[in-house]
């Protein structure tokens, strides 16, 4: 889900003849696509669910079930609903084509297919898919800062909690709030406030690790999700975020304005196995309030309800703490 | 019947898979003949259908044409003489396919 890393397009061919899989793979080689084949409709659906390809080429006349049934299933499953389907039809009649399109297929190609036509139709379907994905991604992005938004955070915490539970890995959450933001806004204006929000976002993103998920939680509050990270290591990252923002200043009418943030961190491993998204956010929030109460520009951690100040000089050796 | 070659045999992307495809054809011809002897029409239809879909794509439009004719005859429940005649034509074509030996 990292917005900067595009993945190679993958195509799944569901056709009862392996000769067709090989043929499609050879013909799409020039497009730089990864092509996989499945001869069985049932297994084709399972594979589509598991691997979420970017495009499915589906034969109408499959051996076990007919292709229309498979298409119906693909359009019912939430995991595969948005994957475009192109029907491979042997029929020259319009009936099959219309039926396929009515079931949600984006296009059809008649077999034996012309290679240039096949490539063009595949390109067109992938182009539409990319635009669709981009639109979906945009609904998860914050317009002002370009960070992931709260809607994305909520979804991502849910799925990361599942992973953390399954593999017994720690998941930490940092809540971060810009200090005295209202005063900054009132003194220097909202335009300056926006510049601060953007600058702090940029700094947080730059100082976080590649695997950390930096989001704008709302207003002047940010949430950073640290996967596979225990409390101590997370506290080190939080301190680094704090000092990076502290080191930065913003220019308002030839005046240097310094900005600071207060942070709070909590980790799933210290909060019990049945922890929910709300529990985790709440626990990190309580640590954040402690930082506000302690005079701001500092980090507190919440260890099973026991809230303490994190030493500003915390060293990276904290990473050596044992994994449970 | 003269040897039949793929119209794509010089395409480097295609050479290898054409060879693989061609190697399977005599076996398919045998299978069709056997299914017909057993009056196993659904399997005749499936094989014809697959050859119809793949033949042209591999550069053998004759296969697609003959396989389509056979598939149609089985679908229409035509009399056995017509089916056998069309299967004969298809099998003759399948056995006439030749590929350049790759070194």
- Give contacts of B61 with chain A, Cβ < 8 Å: 112
CA distance B65 to chain A (A): 10
| Contact flag B49-A113 (C-beta cutoff 8 Å) | no
| Contact flag B14-A26 (C-beta cutoff 8 Å) | yes
Top residue of A15, A24, A26 to mutate, by most chain B CBs within 10 Å, is A26
- Give contacts of B45 with chain A, Cβ < 8 Å: none
Whether B2 shows a pLDDT value over 60: the answer reads: yes
Report if residue B41 sits inside a domain. Answer: yes
- pLDDT tens per residue across span B30-57: 999 999 999 999 999 999 999 998 999 9
Which residues 2-31 of chain A have a CB within 8 Å of chain B?
A: 15-17, 19-20, 22-23, 26-27, 29-30
Residue-number span of the structural domain to which B77 is assigned? 15-96
- Torsion of Cα atoms, B72 then A95 then A114 then B23, to 10°: -40
Q: What's the mean pLDDT in B15-39? A: 95
Report if residue B10 sits inside a domain. Answer: no
Report if residue B5 sits inside a domain. Answer: no
| Contact flag B13-A29 (C-beta cutoff 8 Å) | yes
Residues of B with CB under 8 A from a CB of A: 13-14, 17, 20-21, 24, 46, 49-50, 52-58, 61, 64
A262-to-A129, A221, A276, A290 alpha-carbon distances in Å: 41, 10, 24, 9
- Give contacts of A113 with chain B, Cβ < 8 Å: 57
Report if residue B32 sits inside a domain. Answer: yes
User: Which residues in chain A are classed under CATH 3.40.50.2300?
Assistant: 10-137
Q: Name A98's Cβ contacts closer than 8 Å, sequence gap at least 6.
A: none
Q: How many domains does chain B have?
A: 1
Candidates A27, A88, A112; nearest CB to B55? A112
Query: What is the CATH code for A150-320?
Result: 3.30.70.270
Average pLDDT per block of 10 residues along chain A, 324 residues long: 58 92 92 91 92 92 77 90 89 78 90 88 93 88 95 92 90 97 94 96 96 96 97 96 95 89 96 86 97 97 93 70 45
Report if residue B7 sits inside a domain. Answer: no
- Give contacts of B53 with chain A, Cβ < 8 Å: 15, 17, 20, 59, 88, 90, 111-112
User: Which residues in chain A are classed under CATH 3.30.70.270?
Assistant: 150-320
Report if residue B8 sits inside a domain. Answer: no
Burial of A170 (0-12, 13-18, 19+ CB in 10 A): buried
Residue A253 is predicted with a pLDDT of: 80
- In chain A, the residue whose alpha carbon lies closest to the alpha carbon of B16 is A26
- In chain B, the residue whose alpha carbon lies closest to the alpha carbon of A26 is B13
C-alpha span between B28 and A152 (Å, rounded): 54
Residue A321 is predicted with a pLDDT of: 52
Neighbours of A152 (CB within 10 A): 19
Report if residue B3 sits inside a domain. Answer: no
Superfamily per CATH, domain A10-137: Response regulator (3.40.50.2300)
Residue with tokens 């061919």, as numbered in its chain = A13
Whether B60 shows a pLDDT value over 90: the answer reads: yes
For every residue of A191-219, DSSP letters joined together read: HHHHHHHHHHHHHHHHHS-TT-EEEEEET
Q: Please tell me whether the interface predicted TM-score (ipTM) of this complex is above 0.90.
A: no
Report if residue B78 sits inside a domain. Answer: yes
């Amino acid at each position: 889900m990292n917005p900067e890393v595009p993945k190679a397009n993958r195509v799944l061919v569901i056709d009862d003849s392996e000769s067709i899989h090989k043929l499609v793979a050879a013909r799409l080689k020039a497009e730089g696509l990864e092509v996989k084949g499945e001869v069985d409709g049932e297994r084709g659906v399972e594979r589509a669910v598991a691997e979420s390809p970017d495009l499915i080429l589906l034969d109408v006349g499959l051996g076990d079930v007919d292709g229309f049934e498979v298409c119906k299933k693909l359009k019912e499953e939430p995991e595969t609903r948005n994957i475009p389907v192109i029907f491979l039809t042997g029929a020259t009649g319009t009936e099959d084509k219309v039926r396929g399109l009515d079931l949600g297929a984006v296009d059809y190609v008649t077999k034996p297919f012309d290679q240039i036509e096949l490539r063009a139709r595949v390109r067109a379907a992938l182009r539409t898919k990319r635009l669709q994905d981009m639109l979906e991604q945009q609904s998860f992005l914050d317009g002002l800062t370009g960070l992931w938004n709260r809607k994305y955070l909520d979804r991502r915490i849910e799925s990361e909690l599942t992973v953390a539970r399954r593999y017994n890995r720690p998941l930490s959450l940092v809540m971060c709030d810009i200090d005295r933001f209202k005063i900054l806004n009132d003194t220097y204006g909202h335009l300056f406030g926006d510049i601060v929000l953007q600058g702090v976002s940029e700094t947080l993103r730059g100082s976080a690790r590649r695997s950390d998920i930096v989001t704008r939680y709302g207003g002047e509050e940010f949430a950073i999700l640290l996967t596979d990270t225990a409390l101590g290591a997370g506290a080190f990252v939080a301190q680094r975020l704090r000092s990076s923002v502290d080191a930065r200043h913003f220019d308002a009418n030839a005046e240097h304005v310094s900005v600071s943030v207060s942070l709070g961190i909590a980790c799933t491993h210290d909060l019990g196995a049945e922890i929910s998204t709300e529990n985790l956010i709440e626990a990190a929030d309580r640590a954040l309030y402690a930082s506000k109460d302690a005079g701001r520009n500092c980090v507190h951690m919440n260890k099973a309800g026991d809230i303490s100040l994190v030493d500003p000089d915390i060293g990276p050796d904290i990473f050596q703490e044992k994994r449970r | 019947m003269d040897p039949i070659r793929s119209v794509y045999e010089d395409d480097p992307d295609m050479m290898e898979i054409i060879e693989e495809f061609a190697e399977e054809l005599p076996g398919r011809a045998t299978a069709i003949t056997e299914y017909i002897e057993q009056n196993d029409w659904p399997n005749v239809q499936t094989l014809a259908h697959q050859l119809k879909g793949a033949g042209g794509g591999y550069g053998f439009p004759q296969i697609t044409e003959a396989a389509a004719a056979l598939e149609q005859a089985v679908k229409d429940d035509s009399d056995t003489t017509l089916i056998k005649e069309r299967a004969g034509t298809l099998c003759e074509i399948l056995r006439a396919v030749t590929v350049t030996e790759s070194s």
